[in-house]
Amino acid sequence: MPRNHSLESLTQKLLPSTRLAQPPHHSTFPDLTAKISDLQLHPTIEVALHMLNSDLPSAHFLVRHMQAPPAVEGMLLHSILHRAEGDFDNSRAWLSDVKDACEGFQPKKKSENQKLDSDVFSQTKGGNGFDKTFVEFVYGESDPDKLIDDVESLRRKKLGQRGEGEEEELEERSREELHKVLEWCKAKFGTELWRDATKAWVENSEEISKIGGEMASGGKGHREF
């Protein structure tokens, strides 16, 4: 009998198996893609789970809906996704936008001192009890760009040039990063049903709306995209 997974059981299964230091060619557990979608969680949580499963196409479909403040969570996941794909310039660009927004500035406009509207900025903050910005919560005192730099450096090296345990250390840092993102999103958005995913969208093209409107999550009815 197929197992009915929960957010907790999926996290426990996927987190130890996540491998993103090298570009994944397919999802780790293909049978879990539909099960993740069936939970109908907040889209940022769903994206994080797909990424823990190395399912980059499913993650990419969702993050394209969350491309501007206040959706800093979707923007950071977009950065992580591009890093996993090997698109390091885009990864850095998305991360830079997240850092700007978390400091209260319009992405790419910090040098011009153009700030976000106060209501938009307030929505970039965390749930109750979170006094850090999203970037501070996920990366602490570490430089967020360092993980991008280190993954890019690893992929440029031949096998014989890599340090002992270098790839494993990057895998662990990547897992911790996504774990932190999940913890933030669970506290901020909750873990209840989000049948209407459009409530989380910030920027949505007509083309993506058309594609999403034709999608159904396996077995539990239609979900709005």
Q: What is the pLDDT of residue 222?
A: 38
Residues 6 or more apart in contact with residue 57 via CB below 8 angstroms: none
The answer to whether residue 16 is domain-embedded is no
The answer to whether residue 21 is domain-embedded is no
- Into how many domains does the chain fold? 1
Q: What is the pLDDT of residue 111?
A: 95
The answer to whether residue 121 is domain-embedded is yes
The answer to whether residue 181 is domain-embedded is yes
Q: What is the pLDDT of residue 3?
A: 64
pLDDT in tens, the chain (225 residues): 356 899 999 999 999 999 999 999 999 999 999 999 999 999 999 999 999 999 999 999 999 999 999 999 999 999 999 999 999 999 999 999 999 999 999 999 999 999 999 999 999 999 877 899 999 999 999 999 999 999 999 999 887 788 889 999 999 999 999 999 999 999 999 999 988 777 788 854 343 344 344 333 344 433 444
What's at 165, amino acid-wise?
G
Residues 6 or more apart in contact with residue 92 via CB below 8 angstroms: 79, 145, 148
203 within 8 A of 19, measured Cβ to Cβ: no
The answer to whether residue 111 is domain-embedded is yes
Instruction: Provide the CB-side half-sphere exposure for 18 (13 A, CA).
Output: 29
Domain that holds residue 144: 29-213
Q: To 5 degrees, how large is the angle CA 201–CA 127–CA 36?
A: 50
Q: What is the pLDDT of residue 225?
A: 42
pTM equals 0.87
- Per-residue tokens: 41: 């969680």
The answer to whether residue 2 is domain-embedded is no
